[in-house]
Structure 1
Amino acid sequence: MKFYRRLHQIKAMSFDLDDTLYDNYPIVRRAEAWMHMHLRSQYPHITHLDNNAWLQLKRHVLHQQSHLIHDVSGIRIACLTALFLRHGYSEQDAESVANTISTQVRAVRSDFVVPENTLAVLAELASKIPLIAVTNGNVDTDKIGLTPFFTAVIKPGNGLRMKPYPDLFSLAAETLALPPQHILHVGDDLNSDVAGAVSNGFMSAWFNDQQQSLMTSNKASHLPDIEITHLDELTSLL
């Protein structure tokens, strides 16, 4: 553990989820692959989009509905809706199919086991202070067993912007009924988590399990309060 600033008293912790409490990359890749396989097998009359074509469709939809950039599920539904509209579906049918597929993708995306060590750390921390999840993603925390550890799970969408914007951090502090300077935010991303936390008055614990360097990273715009490489280091702070 590295300390870059003196910590205030920690009265609560907020946690990023993806790539902080579990390795998210292979999970998301599997869910994306499932969606494309599902479209090919169940809707063979729909022109299959490779990754580049899907990205182009996403950019097109975001150009028309820029607010969806802060809504992971919303942008998927909008893209799928646009895809089915291109193939002659009515707006109602396109939206219905898109919502069904998006729900299925989220189920696949949430079909994994959180590491036992993570659960043990959360259980120990939650026995001492309140914890809250602040995530830019859309994982189903009920399905993966994380919900019981958190006072609330705060996600973007419905007018709330993603980290590092203030929206989720402000709602977290309001939900915890604590001043931000007494909340330690734990996350792996130097922009959304570290810069987001520091610029919104939170303390920041950078979870760096990939041996990154603050000195060489082009994402390091703000200095975290502490740097950790294992989650169980957090228990020594209380």
Structure 2
Amino acid sequence: MLNFKSIQAISIDLDDTLWPVWPAIERAEIALDNWLREHAPATAVLFADTNERAAMREHINRSRPELTHNLSAQRRETIRLALERSAENTALAEPAFDIFFAGRNRVDLFADALPALVFLAARYPVVALSNGNADIERIGLGQYFHASISAQQFGVAKPDARIFHAAAEAAGVDAARVLHIGDDALMDVLGALDCGMQTVWVNREGKDWVHAQQPHLSVVELNALCVLMAAA
């Protein structure tokens, strides 16, 4: 059970916790494909080949290990490599990525997400903690967050303890005073538990919990957490 009295800050995952990520990624991919067809047609053909695209991403992962946690840089460099292999202008990698990134940040919030953020932000410093590359300012949610920490900025990803401790530091509290909220059992819940944080598992799909360590609370929607907090 949650110890509500000890909570002094919130850290919260973004993708698949506040919005479904894959619809946004799919729209972004379509926007990128349309842009490439107009500005770099040979690259568009190469990029449309899923095997070729996967091979290029693997090449970037092997040749640029420093980009392991930087999804934006990985995407940008994969586009640049495709342009190079297609004998087209590699300078187009930047505007092409901008098209993708704009689409990636056009998300459809879960119905409970915004009311929950309003509720939480009125009571605690809230820190976004993500392995992805979503931009809360571009999405229009920046006002609800005290800070935002991503793996690509910090250099390590969840479930590494260091990024959880960075979130606690950003909120100005000890890790034991942070409640971490997220959808991923390993990355969010177990990672936060190992740091001494309290945890809420956002289990929208009703999955079974299969790990020995347990979250302090499991919810299908965030409003259930807010109701409990309001009553505490």
TM-score where L is the length of structure 2? 0.89
The SS at the match of 2:136 is coil
> Does residue 164 of structure 2 align to residue 169 of structure 1?
yes
- Change in 2 beyond 3 A, CA 1:145/1:86: same
- Residue 59 of structure 2 is aligned to residue 55 of structure 1: no
Q: Report the alpha carbon displacement of residue 159 of structure 1 after superposing the two structures with TM.
A: 5.2
Task: Answer whether contact 1:40 1:48 (CA < 8 A) is retained.
Answer: no
Q: Would you say the 8 A contact 2:131–2:152 is kept in 1?
A: no
Deviations 1:184-204 (A, max 9, x none): 110001111112211222211
Distance, in Å, in 1 between the alignment partners of 2:98 and 2:190 is: 32
Rounded Cα–Cα distance in structure 2 between residues aligned with 1:78 and 1:200:
34
- Choose which of 11, 16, 21 in structure 1 pairs with 2:18: 21
| Residue 184, structure 1, aligned to residue 185, structure 2 | no
Unaligned runs of 5+ residues in structure 2 are none
SS in 2 for 1:143: helix
Cα distance in 1, alignment partners of residues 154 and 19 from structure 2: 27
Query: Which residue number corresponds to residue 134 of structure 2?
Result: 139
Alpha-carbon distance in 1 for matches of 2:166, 2:160:
11
Given that residues 7 and 225 in structure 1 are in contact (C-alpha distance below 8 angstroms), is that contact kept between their aligned partners in structure 2? no
Superposed displacement of residue 37, structure 1: 3.0
Aligned to 1:120: 115
Match in the other structure for 2:70? 71
Matched, 1:31 2:32: no
Residues 39 and 48, structure 1, Cα contact 8 Å, conserved in 2: no
Pick from 190, 203, 206: which aligns with 1:208?
A: 203
C-alpha change, 1:16 and 1:152, in structure 2 (3 Å) is same
Aligned to 2:83: 84
**What is the CA–CA distance in structure 1 between the aligned matches of 2:213 and 2:26, rounded to whole Å?**
30
Q: Are the equivalent residues in 2 in contact too, given 1:191–1:221 (CA < 8 A)?
A: no
Q: 1:159 to 1:16 in 2, by over 3 A?
A: closer
Runs (4+) of structure 1 exceeding 4 A deviation are 5-8
- 1:126-177 per-position Cα deviation (integer Å, ceiling 9, x unaligned): 1111111001111221232211011011112245211112332121111111
Give the aligned length. 227
Name the CA distance, whole Å, in 1 between partners of 2:21 and 2:196. Answer: 27
Question: Which one has the bigger helix percentage?
Answer: 2
Deviation at 1:35, TM superposition (A): 1.8
Q: Is the 8 A contact 1:141 1:147 kept in 2?
A: yes
Q: TM-score, normalised by structure 1?
A: 0.87
Q: Where do 5+ consecutive residues of structure 1 fail to align?
A: none
Moved more, 204-213 or 123-132: 123-132
CA contact (8 A) 1:10 1:184 kept: yes
Instruction: Give 2:221's match in structure 1, choosing from 225, 230, 233.
Output: 230
